[in-house]
A = this chain, B = another copy of it.
């Protein structure tokens, strides 16, 4: 945001924002049709999930630092938001943020372009879910996390060159993200490890051994 807003506008924005912190695995209240706030992710990772009536559920998006959370303007956005790791948010009152957008064309423009980017990402994911095999999905997932974690917006997440990092999701969350079962996730990780592409550590640690091989798999 610093790139598009003037110092004066940034000031105004900051005066009306407040920080919130959440522990891992916590439902973030208020993601309902009448949600009254709006936020930007400062650190951590957030899952947006949708589910069918019988309980099957699917993570439809992962949010990382610099991503927006919440839907201003209008109608229901029917999913839940839950923290995957510890999370810090920068929040605004919804009405207030909408007002700021109306006043400051640059802010609205930024939000619009981000939304277009999100749409593009969602459609990429549609391609993945519809047309990839289990190991392709896992390779894509690992690379996606790696890229987001090293991104400049994520200043405190990891050194740019780190080949080793922690996945922000548990096995069952990965399964929900990739449209698989947890056993399949486990087995495919072993397969990737056997192929020499990665090395799984204790907990959720993972080391990249052969990025090229992973990329070839996607």
Contact = CB atoms under 8 A, between A and B. Distances in A.
Interface of A: 48, 50-52, 56-58, 60-61, 71, 73-75, 77-79, 102, 105, 108-109, 111-113, 115-120, 122-127, 129-132, 178-179
B119 A50 contact: no
Contacts of A102: 105
B115 A74 contact: no
A57 B113 contact: no
Main secondary structure of the interface of A (DSSP, over half): helix
Nearest to A57: B131
Contacts of A116: 71, 73-74, 77, 115
Nearest 10 pairs of A and B residues by beta carbon: A130-B179, A122-B122, A60-B123, A129-B129, A58-B130, A56-B131, A58-B127, A50-B127, A60-B126, A119-B119
B112 A108 contact: yes
B48 A123 contact: yes
Copies of this polypeptide in the complex = 2
Given A130-B129, A130-B178, A130-B179, A61 B112 contact: no
A50 B123 contact: yes
B109 A73 contact: yes
Contact of A112 (B57, B115, B130): B115
Residue from A48, A119, A129 whose CB has the most chain B CB atoms within 10 Å: A119
Contacts of A58: 126-127, 130-131
Contacts of A111: 112
Given A77-B120, A111-B112, A131-B179, 12 more contacts: A51-B127, A52-B127, A56-B131, A58-B131, A60-B127, A102-B105, A108-B112, A112-B112, A112-B115, A122-B123, A125-B126, A130-B179
Residue from A61, A78, A112 whose CB has the most chain B CB atoms within 10 Å: A112
Contacts of A132: 52
Nearest to A50: B127
A178 B71 CA distance: 27
A171 to B, nearest CB: 16
